[in-house]
Amino acid sequence: MSKIAASARIHPLALVEDGAVIGENVVVGPFSQVGPRVVLKDGVELISHAVVTGNTEIGHNCRIFPMAVIGGVSQSLHEAGEDSSLTVGDNCTMREGVTMNCGTVGGGGKTVVGSNCLFLANSHVAHDCQLGSGIVMSNNVMLAGHVHVGDRAILGGGCAVHQFTRIGRQAFIGGLSAVNYDVIPYGMLNGNPGILGGLNVVGMTRAGIERATIHRVRRAFKQIFEGEGNIRVNAAAIRNEYQDCAEVMEILDFIAADSDRALSSPYRGKG
């Protein structure tokens, strides 16, 4: 049996399958479909012609626009019908044609999206992706499987992100860019292949980071990417110098972490 709150409004031309959980003040518009393992928390709105399926939980006050398919089976070649899930946080907007897939057992079984994210038309979140909060994915952005995106990152229209790539917090990816390698927190990447052109200073300023701190981060950036050693050696060498700067330490920790991908750099895209 479905559990549907009394205040929910289900259009007579919508299909809510047995087993779905529908919260208070949820709106399910005409020609929308809600699968039997779906949880729509309070205030969710499916405007029309939207599909939410799979083992999927949609957080409070999310809006899902026409032709979006949320919680579909992964497009992995190794997909074999195993149990997996998709979780979307609160206050997210999924515009027309957005697709988000559930995870795969081989990738941990979970695709996770944080809160306050905006997904513009036809953007795609593949299996096992892990997304933070406050992210903006512009029209036609494509995330391959197992991609990690940090809080408040912005991805420009039509950019494509290679599987297993990490994009750090508050990074900015230019439109139509090819993201083949990891992008450091606060990094700005453009082009095909993507070149790390510097720091997302505008985003850092909007986030309230002080000018003096931004100057220190820029200095560290030059030491890391313009020093005589390779990127990881340079990053390790300056760690003691920046112990009191959380933003630089975040970049250094990102560089030091294990990853399946190389690091984007200002030189040929790969460090």
pLDDT of the residue at 267: 87
Catalytic residue among 128, 151, 162, 194: 128
pTM > 0.75: yes
Identify the segments of the chain with pLDDT beneath 50. Answer: none
User: CB burial class (10 A; 0-12, 13-18, 19+) of residue 210?
Assistant: exposed
Q: Is 128 a catalytic residue?
A: yes
pLDDT of the residue at 270: 62
- Enumerate domains of the chain plus CATH numbers: 3-146 (2.160.10.10), 205-256 (no CATH)
Catalytic residue among 29, 72, 124, 127: 127
Q: Is 127 a catalytic residue?
A: yes
Burial letters for 44-61: b for 16+ Cβ neighbours within 10 Å, e otherwise? bbbbbbbbbbbbbbbbbb
Catalytic residue among 23, 107, 132, 145: 145
pLDDT of the residue at 1: 63
CA distance 184 to 212: 20
What's the Rg (C-alpha) of the chain?
A: 20
